[in-house]
Amino acid sequence: MSILNKIKKAKLVGRGGACFPAAVKWSAVAKAMADKRYSGKKCYVVCNSAEGEPGVKKDGYILEHFPEKVVDGIKIAIDFLGAEKGYIYINKDYYNKYSKKLISLIGSAPIELFIKPIDSGYIGGEESSILNAIEGHRLGGASKRVEPRLRPPFPTSNGLWGCPTLVNNVETFYNVSLVASNEYENKRFYTISGDCLHDGVYSFPDSWTIQKILKDTKNYPNFPFFAQIGGDASGEVLASSQLKSHVSGAGSITVYSIIKHKPTDLIKKWLTFFINESCGQCVPCREGVYRLVEITRSADPDWRLFSDLLDNLSETAFCGLGCAVPVPLKSYVNNVLAKMPAGSKKIICERFK
């Protein structure tokens, strides 16, 4: 059975956060390579190990404990697509920790480590931003902003230097290696952190619920709490009564004590992240998040306007960063604050409609 059919049978999805079917993406790159319009074009493979979402540590864990599987998965992709070269796009911290081992495992294979630009921020881990970063460097230092590209066209057909390019996450390539060797068991990695005793990275079946994972790891609190799923910035916030669902996004679970965390402090924390990490390319994100921050600093916050601005962001932002801003904020209000209307919580909930 071909590796593509194995990936299809395993129902493997990307683990960078979007959970896009891996076989569909691989097929799209292969189809582009077979298209006469791309005759003579090269093909590239990129492993994304930027891991810039706060609260997500699984890729670093995999690079530390299973680097051989990651490199093997990249090699499999290169062979399947007949790619010219592969890149491991890696943040500086991970490069300092794991580069020697990775270089040793790569050997003579056409795979290069590429350090994520330090000043590129969170958006430097978005797949089309990665392409800009690599292209800008390879142009001999020519200026090329590390920012998202307008899509379509997609990287699968117009990626590095306009060539078909496969971009997958560290965990995805790790899973590809397991699929190829018939070791894949439909598990995924979960980062658990926050107000819990046994934080860390765990591997459990993809079918396990948030509640089961927290209980199995002895991290289920005995105090009033809520959880943020998929990342400490862009993840959805769920009440303790909503944890019979599965983990989404990048596979993180962050526990928050209701007593410990003030609503306005959390809202400001999330907004601070988004305003600091916005690349400033599009007006909705650049100006919208700035206005949201202004409202939270007001003596009498207009929460109705705040909610309207969030709706605008989700509908008009250029990339995933701007679209993600409403996720933690609205889910926190609707799933947590609305269920305990008291004091400032009541004011926010009444006007946040």
146 pLDDT above the threshold of 90: no
pLDDT at residue 336 in the model: 95
pLDDT at residue 318 in the model: 72
In this predicted model, which residue has the larger pLDDT, 119 or 69?
69
CATH 3.10.20.600 domain position(s) in the chain: 187-257
Mean of the per-residue pLDDT values of the chain = 91
39 pLDDT above the threshold of 60: yes
CB 45 within 8 A of CB 163: no
CATH 3.40.50.11540 domain position(s) in the chain: 3-180
State the amino acid at position 275 in one-letter form: I
CB 125 within 8 A of CB 50: yes
State the amino acid at position 112 in one-letter form: E
Taking the C-alpha atoms of residue 296 and residue 221, their distance in angstroms, rounded to an integer, is: 30
Burial (CB < 10 A; 0-12, 13-18, 19+), residue 208, is middle
pLDDT at residue 204 in the model: 97
How much is the average pLDDT of 18-47? 91
Overall size of the chain counted in residues:
353
CB 23 within 8 A of CB 15: no
Question: For domain 3-180, is the CATH number 3.40.50.620?
Answer: no
Q: At what angle do helices 303-316 and 283-297 cross, to 10 degrees?
A: 160
pLDDT at residue 348 in the model: 55
CATH 1.20.1440.230 domain position(s) in the chain: 263-351
Kindly indicate the confidence band of residue 347, based on its pLDDT and cuts at 50, 70 and 90.
low
- Of 71-85, 151-165, 329-343, least confident by mean pLDDT is 329-343
140 pLDDT above the threshold of 80: no
pLDDT at residue 181 in the model: 97
% pLDDT > 70, the chain = 94
Question: For domain 187-257, is the CATH number 3.30.479.30?
Answer: no
141 pLDDT above the threshold of 80: no
User: What residues have CB less than 8 Å from 284, skipping those under 6 apart?
Assistant: 312, 313, 316, 317, 318, 322
| CATH number at 263-351 | 1.20.1440.230
137 pLDDT above the threshold of 90: no
Taking the C-alpha atoms of residue 237 and residue 335, their distance in angstroms, rounded to an integer, is: 7
139 pLDDT above the threshold of 80: no
Kindly indicate the confidence band of residue 121, based on its pLDDT and cuts at 50, 70 and 90.
confident
CB 62 within 8 A of CB 70: yes
247-302 pLDDT, tens digit per residue, is: 988 899 999 999 999 998 999 999 999 888 877 778 878 888 889 999 988 888 89
